[in-house]
Structure 1
Amino acid sequence: MTDAAELTEQWIAAWVHVRDIEVTELDGWPLVHTRSRTRESELICSDPGPEAFSALMRHVDGDPRAMLTVIAKDVAPYAALTLPPGVRVDRDDETLMTIPLAPTPTAHDAEFTARWDLEGNSVTLRLETAEKVASEGTVGVLGDVAVFDAVETSPGFQRRGLGSCVMSMLSSYALDHDAKTGILAATAQGKAMYESLGWNVALEMRSLMGA
């Protein structure tokens, strides 16, 4: 069975490949240079222990564009830590989920048009009406690992199975490109849908940011 550190390493490697972003190292942990709207960087560590994690907080203390994420089987010991004044909790409900990929039905309602856009190392699928994007998601493959990213359904189109349809179509794409395992970081809102599709929670995640 893949252990926590190996799974985290696989996810980071495939995720940065999909987004084509730079990774360096800081205190022995991957520093992902996200340069996104919400953050400039994310330091990611795999269950370093509460004491070591506390020491890492200095890298985000007071910097609102810096994120520190811990991934572990149980993040409760990290949640119990006292935060410095310049550090806040950003996300405490995400999980890292996995699935052995297998063929699934991929039909979608004729009301929607499927548009595939190849973007660097990833492909984005959008289910569209004449007026707007109803649901979308991205997948990229590195070796035999597929990372799923930014799967969203627009308000007004939710609870119609479109997210599940997008996931099935992205999974078929990944299988066609030799992927065997799927990995994604799920919010609490998305977790229920992924579980209904057979995905399993492997690890918990907790993210801090500078305040």
Structure 2
Amino acid sequence: MPFRTTAEAVRAWVEGWAASRCAAEPTPHSWGFTIDVGLAKEVARHVLTDADEATVRELAGDTTVTGVPLKTFVPPETLKAWLPPGWVLLDGHAGLMAASLSAVEAPPGLPDGYRLHSWHRAGVTRVVVRAADGAFAARGQIAVTGPTAAVDQVETDAAHQRRGLGRVVMGTLAEAAARQGARTAVLGATVQGRALYEALGWKVVAPMSAAVRSARDGGA
């Protein structure tokens, strides 16, 4: 594993994710971090680096609105068993993954007709791939925070999948981060993205799951 411990990888992901999303500086707690996000659907998030049932129930009990999810690094079935009534799992989380940037393959060439545009601003490099007609095809971004970096918001439009665009985006982001001095990288993988990342040499560091208070239970 590129990181010595899971906690080290989690911290790198928290710092990188906050930088990537222009969120507030993570506030440390004994159980992890709180990040003020400032969006209508996600006002803030709690990231539990060392989750247990007592901590999950305490935080869930103190959270009375729907826009503050709990992010944990335990399997979904474990988190579900710990949740009090009124909380539901968020779908799509697969795991926290990491890779040594020196081991990530260089980006392949784009298929005919596609164009790649990238730019760097405030420590974040963004990559967008557009089709021949100018339509959106794929994207991704990476935030460098010292020797580590966090890949974020990687997606390929359904009409342009299975053409290698994800590999192009990931390779381009890895090269950009390495040029800025980063040696290792992390990302929060979705179920859909995990296969691509594993094919590129990324390894699962820990399972990942999340939950939010249900609006049907009276959350504001």
TM-score (norm 2): 0.86
Letter in 2 for 1:164: R
2:129 to 122, 127, 130: 127
- The match for 2:173 is 170
Alignment of 1:24-43 (within 5 A): 24-25=27-28, 29-36=32-39, 38-43=41-46
**Do the aligned residues in 2 keep the contact of 1:100 with 1:181 (CA within 8 Å)?**
yes
Q: Give per-residue Cα distances to partners, 1:146-185, cap 9 Å, x unaligned.
A: 1100001012100111011110111111111111101000
Q: Secondary structure at the match of 2:159?
A: coil
How many residue pairs match? The answer is: 208
- The match for 1:185 is 188
Q: Equivalents in 2 of 1:8, 1:75: separation in Å? A: 17
**Do the aligned residues in 2 keep the contact of 1:20 with 1:121 (CA within 8 Å)?**
no
Structure 2 unaligned runs (5+)?
215-220
Q: Equivalents in 2 of 1:15, 1:83: separation in Å? A: 27
% identical equivalent positions: 23
- The match for 1:5 is 7
Across the aligned residues of Structure 1 and Structure 2, the Cα RMSD in angstroms comes to 2.0
Q: Give per-residue Cα distances to partners, 1:70-105, cap 9 Å, x unaligned.
A: 124x554333225222x2212363310000112623
Runs of 4+ in 1 over 3 A off after TM superposition: 25-29, 74-77
Q: Equivalents in 2 of 1:21, 1:183: separation in Å? A: 18
TM-score (norm 1): 0.89
- The match for 1:80 is 81
Q: Equivalents in 2 of 1:64, 1:198: separation in Å? A: 36
- The match for 1:52 is 55
Shift of 1:18: 2.4
Q: Give per-residue Cα distances to partners, 1:175-199, cap 9 Å, x unaligned.
A: 1111110100000110011001110
Structure 1 unaligned runs (5+)?
none
**Do the aligned residues in 2 keep the contact of 1:104 with 1:172 (CA within 8 Å)?**
no
Q: Equivalents in 2 of 1:176, 1:40: separation in Å? A: 33
Q: Secondary structure at the match of 1:160?
A: coil
Q: Equivalents in 2 of 1:188, 1:68: separation in Å? A: 18
Confirm whether residue 136 of structure 1 aligns to residue 142 of structure 2. no
Q: Equivalents in 1 of 2:15, 2:129: separation in Å? A: 28
Q: Equivalents in 1 of 2:35, 2:128: separation in Å? A: 27
Shift of 1:50: 1.5
